[in-house]
Amino acid sequence: MKNYKDSDYALNKFSAGIVYRFADAVMEVSLADFLAENPGKTPADFEALKKFSDNDYLDQARAENAQTNKNISFDKLEKILLCRASSPEEVIIDAPEKAERHRKRLTLVKHALDKLTEVQKRRYLLYVINGLTMREIGEQDGVSHQSVDESLMAAEKKIKNVLANA
């Protein structure tokens, strides 16, 4: 919302008269102006109109605040767009590129796994794909979990080396 002191509500609320804001000017109707224009009215009528005016401006200010709270910043909009689903057209157009990227990734993974010893490959796949712990792999192989840890660290080092040189 704009500065509270600049709002129509504040302007009207803290003025002695009733304030009207137009596109090019602000006009205030005082008690004297009101009584001169309306000979049959009383100061009580003016106060009732002033109170109505204050409430009307307050309702407008609340509505503006409610709308402002619903507005989405560009940052939030960008995040929403990143999460959106692809259209059928995008899927069809992007499918060959995605398939090629997938094929290249699989080739790179296969190449990296080929650099491992058979023991490292088996332990690495049991750990990463099957989700076994180092202790469980050690029990299967009849070795300590430290031995499995060393094997996995060596495998990861080789894989990182292959990926870095790709």
In the 8-state DSSP scheme, what is residue 144? -
Domain enclosing residue 108, as ranges: 95-164
pLDDT 10s digits, 88-117: 887 788 888 888 988 998 999 899 999 999
Tell me the pLDDT band of 121, cut-offs 50, 70 and 90.
very high
Mean pLDDT of 151-159: 94
In the 8-state DSSP scheme, what is residue 165? T
**Any domain includes 62:** yes
**Any domain includes 149:** yes
pLDDT 10s digits, 23-59: 888 888 999 998 999 999 999 999 999 999 888 888 8
Check which CATH number belongs to the domain holding 141 and give it.
1.10.10.10
Contact 15, 29 (CB under 8 A): no
Residues 146 and 106 in one domain: yes
